Structure 1
Amino acid sequence: MVLIGSLLRPVLPTWLRLGLIALLALVVIGNETQLLRIRLPQNGRQVPSTVILEGGRIGAWQFGFEMGTGLRTYMTSSLPHLAALTVALLAWWPYALLTGAAFGLGRAIMPLIRIGWGDGADWDRRYRRAGLPFRVLNMITMLLAIGAVALHALS
Structure 2
Amino acid sequence: MAWYTIEHSCGHASERQIYGTNVHGERERKAAGLGRFNCPDCAATDRAVTSDAATGVADELGWPGLLGSQRQVEWAQRLRLETIDELDRICRTTGMPEARHNWARGVLLAQTSAEQWIGFRGGNPNRSRIENCLNLTDLMPVPDLVRAWAADPARDIADAFCDECR
- Bigger Rg over Cα: 2
User: Per residue, is there more strand in 1 or in 2?
Assistant: 2
User: Normalising by the residue count of structure 1, what TM-score does the alignment of the two structures yield?
Assistant: 0.30
User: Normalising by the residue count of structure 2, what TM-score does the alignment of the two structures yield?
Assistant: 0.29
